[in-house]
A and B are shown apart, each in its own frame.
Chain A
């Protein structure tokens, strides 16, 4: 149920982002979604892509420090309060959201969000109990993006 996310340390300087992007593009990796967390002097690039193990190997070979994190991809109804309701469930169960970002494409009338929880396994249980659709693999995420 968990989806692997790669994170990369980037310096805050011109070209820092384009270099890994070009590397991945050249090797034909398809990035499903990404986000950047930025601080004053550095940023963390977070990536979800199809063949993460190969992508990690490639990036490490090129000298990047790469970390793998378990993420949970969840369908969120695209309507007012859709996300609020979902967060409430998690809050009731005492689960902390460390960060989250959206998946670029919509699936019918639902958005897809990617979450980093302090306890992903517990979060998945709670979400399932509440009949929230947790997306099991990157492939499914990819299909979601294709009408």
Chain B
């Protein structure tokens, strides 16, 4: 791959390289402003500060942040729709909402300045993985209430790239335009990209004939082995972009060309790692729940938002020279974890196990059921062209190999069921990996 400059450095990336004392100074300044803003305009936050006997003036250093109360997803639900806004509606220029399947959605809001910040971090994200003006970015994130589509869109335009706003779905059209328009980059969920890869031969497409060289994948947890799979099957470079609507959308953190975990744009988002059980802060390098504080969000300041994503912060200097800390790639979320027969299992472990068996593209789903008080796990895996053999014996052997692989990695005996291709629910947003049908 040709690099336009040293590891994705473009003028827009300047804040990525701030010396750490300057960065800290900027963070404190912005944090103080943010806390004041939330205290002045968000009733719930002011009430929680008062309960703790705190005022914004108590925030003297970055370390003092640990005294502030957490914000959780439940707070967003409880104050639906506008309860956490710190700007009057006339200053709010955009609303997004979660695509959650149960109950009321979660609403997030942006002022003009918030959108500028968002654009800025998306530009820096693209620059970090070597994209620039002149690239043709096919944006297959869903457009609409979901933050993925529009978030990426305006950042890509601001960078000067050509955006193809195709949105999610219609795989045949994705492939056709990818070829005809000469797209050099694609943005979507990793599972949807694998689906595109899988369908390409049907439409007579050869990856060698395409100009695609970069994939910016996010909106769902994925594993390192999935990255390798994507890269070897399609020949592109796959980068992890991290974000969540509650904080801003995609662009909270992004990998550079070193592919060594996403760098957090710390000048706008302040990261902490806390112990899942005690809520106490953990030092860099230790794994726990990621907690984020927005440093420049006007419409909806988020103070110590509990992301439920499990990762560790790395302050080790990256080869690219960025001073921004990195998060370990997020393979799991604390609310994805399921407990079965007393064993804690993350979908990512099942995914890794399936990938270990040669020729499996990971379209899978985990179904939890309870039969006479006993928990059962069924892993459904779609049969692919590579997996399908014409004899019963060969397919049964494959079934055994897959279930043994899962058992050896998780210690869990599962019922492995092969299902017809393209029957499992496809994600154009986030893949639903676990279906819990147990009645507690």
Per the bound structure, the CA–CA distance linking A63 and B421 in Å amounts to 6
A69 contacts B421, C-beta separation under 8 Å: no
Q: Is B64 an interface residue (CB 8 A)?
A: no
Per the bound structure, the CA–CA distance linking A99 and B394 in Å amounts to 13
Q: Is A74 an interface residue (CB 8 A)?
A: no
- Nearest A-chain residue to B396, judged by Cβ: A39
Per the bound structure, the CA–CA distance linking A61 and B420 in Å amounts to 14
Q: Is A119 an interface residue (CB 8 A)?
A: no
Q: Is A138 an interface residue (CB 8 A)?
A: no
A65 contacts B392, C-beta separation under 8 Å: no
Segment of A8-16, A75-83, A105-113, A120-128 engaged in the interface with chain B: A8-16
Chain A residues with CB below 8 A from B418, complex form: 9, 11, 41-42
The distance from the CB of B369 to the nearest CB of chain A, in whole angstroms, is: 15
Chain B residues with CB below 8 A from A60, complex form: 202
Number of residues from A at the complex interface, CB < 8 A = 22
Chain A residues with CB below 8 A from B399, complex form: 41
Known contacts A9-B420, A41-B418; A65/B391 CB under 8 A: no
Per the bound structure, the CA–CA distance linking A39 and B383 in Å amounts to 15
Known contacts A61-B202, A65-B384; A11/B392 CB under 8 A: no
A67 contacts B388, C-beta separation under 8 Å: yes
Chain B window 378-394, contacts with chain A (Cβ cutoff 8 Å), 1 for yes, 0 for no: 00000111011111100
Chain A residues with CB below 8 A from B417, complex form: 41
B392 contacts A44, C-beta separation under 8 Å: yes
Number of residues from B at the complex interface, CB < 8 A = 20
Chain A residues with CB below 8 A from B421, complex form: 9, 63-65
Q: Is B25 an interface residue (CB 8 A)?
A: no
Contact residues, B373-425 vs A (CB, 8 A): 383-385, 387-392, 395-396, 399, 417-423
Interface of chain A: mostly helix, strand, loop or mixed: strand
Q: Is A98 an interface residue (CB 8 A)?
A: yes
A69 contacts B384, C-beta separation under 8 Å: no
- Count of CB-CB pairs between chains A and B under 8 Å: 53
The distance from the CB of B419 to the nearest CB of chain A, in whole angstroms, is: 6
Per the bound structure, the CA–CA distance linking A16 and B417 in Å amounts to 15
Contact residues, A35-62 vs B (CB, 8 A): 37-39, 41-42, 44, 46, 60-61
Chain A residues with CB below 8 A from B202, complex form: 60-61
Chain B window 330-346, contacts with chain A (Cβ cutoff 8 Å), 1 for yes, 0 for no: 00000000000000000
Chain A residues with CB below 8 A from B385, complex form: 65, 67
Known contacts A39-B396, A42-B395, A44-B395; A69/B419 CB under 8 A: no
The distance from the CB of A118 to the nearest CB of chain B, in whole angstroms, is: 11
Chain B residues with CB below 8 A from A63, complex form: 420-423
A39 contacts B390, C-beta separation under 8 Å: no
A10 contacts B420, C-beta separation under 8 Å: yes
B395 contacts A39, C-beta separation under 8 Å: yes
Contact residues, B7-35 vs A (CB, 8 A): none
Per the bound structure, the CA–CA distance linking A29 and B383 in Å amounts to 25
Known contacts A64-B421, A65-B383, A65-B384; A7/B392 CB under 8 A: no
17 A–B contact pairs at CB < 8 A?
A7-B388, A9-B395, A11-B419, A11-B420, A11-B423, A16-B420, A37-B392, A42-B418, A44-B390, A63-B421, A63-B423, A64-B421, A65-B383, A65-B421, A67-B385, A67-B389, A116-B390
